[in-house]
Amino acid sequence: MDIEVLEIDDLEKIEKALKRDKSQDKDEIVRNIINDVRLNGDEALFGYTLKFDNFNIGEANMKVSKEEFEEADRSITEKEKKVISYSKERIEHFHRASVDKSFFTEENGIILGTRVTPVKRAGLYIPGGKAAYPSTALMTIIPAVVAGVDEIIITTPTVEGKVNPYVLYTAKLCGVDSVYKIGGAQAIAAMAYGTQSIKRVNVIAGPGNIYVATAKKYVYGDVGIDSVAGPSEIAIVADEFADVKFLAHDLLSQAEHDEMAMCYFIGLNRKIVDEVKKLFFELASSTPRASIAKKSAANAVFIYTKNRELAALSVDEIAPEHLELQISDPYMFMNKIRNAGAIFMGHYTPEAIGDYIAGPNHTLPTSQTAKFLSPLSPDVFMKKSNIMHYSKDAFMENAQKAADFAEMEGLFAHRSSIEVRFD
């Protein structure tokens, strides 16, 4: 495929070359679905599930039964169960180490601190059907479990009423048995506002298609969300010492996700840019998922610059979901950048290993939101309360300053609520 290699020699060219169209929202369709679910509850859920998933759902079969969990368990091999369990252990170990803790300070009769507590109820969206992955289930469920959420529910779309067995097995392994066979914007609405069968939650997390992403954006404020996810992305920075085969296959690992996936390659050597580009398109045409990979490959961006500072600026402008640094000094280069969802260092840390067994979460900010958002973590399911406690002596010593501040702002009741204690 004839895609031009962009030769970058100044910042303006970077911004122009990487400008992206984000006008993919399905606002009107999603708004109508959400309003219908808010008004009509289960009845609306049943109608949309029949329309979109070809499944005649009702109150009796919307929630996954004990027998369906048991059937899922029987359908998975012992080898597959061991792989899932190993991944679970790695992910849980990392996320437990990352949990924010409450803290307090004390000085001269003043105790200050922050108390960290989990939300009571979380709703997790797990993609279903052809795009159902147990790794995504693990990455979405484990942070909520580690945070200590009291009640966790899962919604997942089905293929004619059958939930992916890997998703069910993973949910049960993590201790979650409230799984509902609904998907799309209607599932987000049900979790955000509640229906006759589904309780309203405090936080919604998990990836989904454009309808799910738009719905999460629409309900934000009435409920907390993790992020608004877009298509998968990878950016790779490589120098002349990198392996062309490694690089091309790593690009392909994202291209096969979906037709809208974005692949960026930034080469510090012109020869390696040309070689990677050639092999990447050959692989995209021959992979078993070529029907998807060829379409996403057509959107790939190949950049050449010998200037390392401009390469770093390119990364920051892309703000990629996944960033691989296959260069001789990845840690030095990492210090030049600030925008990336996850960073994979060196030649033997492909993005795919982070998808499964490394431990850090693979639900990451996309569509340049890594400029201000972070990976999914237990923090999404936790909230903080500031704690203040003044002894009488500490109050008497310091409060006049607060009273003076209140007077300066013209808030006289504030001042008097302080000064009344002086007597």
Known catalytic residue: 68?
A: no
- Tokens representing 29 are 């369709």
User: What is the rounded CA–CA span in Å between residue 231 and residue 213?
Assistant: 10
Check 317, 321, 324, 351 and give the catalytic one. Answer: 321
DSSP code, position 371: G
- Euclidean distance between CA atoms 35 and 49, whole angstroms: 16
| DSSP-assigned letters across all residues of 123-138 | EEE---GGG--HHHHH
**Structure tokens belonging to residue 132:** 């159902």
Catalytic option among 322, 324, 347, 351: 322
Nearest to 226 by CA among 128, 144, 114: 144
d(CA 286, CA 294): 9
Say which amino acid occupies 415: R
CA torsion, ordered 71, 72, 75, 78, to nearest 10 deg: -120
Q: Is residue 389 flagged as an active site residue?
A: no
Structure tokens at 342: 């996850």
Cα–Cα distance list, 373 to 31, 73, 76, 380 (Å): 25, 36, 36, 11
- Measured between alpha carbons, how far is 356 from 344 in angstroms, rounded to an integer? 13
Distance CA(355)–CA(33), nearest Å, equals 32
Residues tagged active-site: 321-322
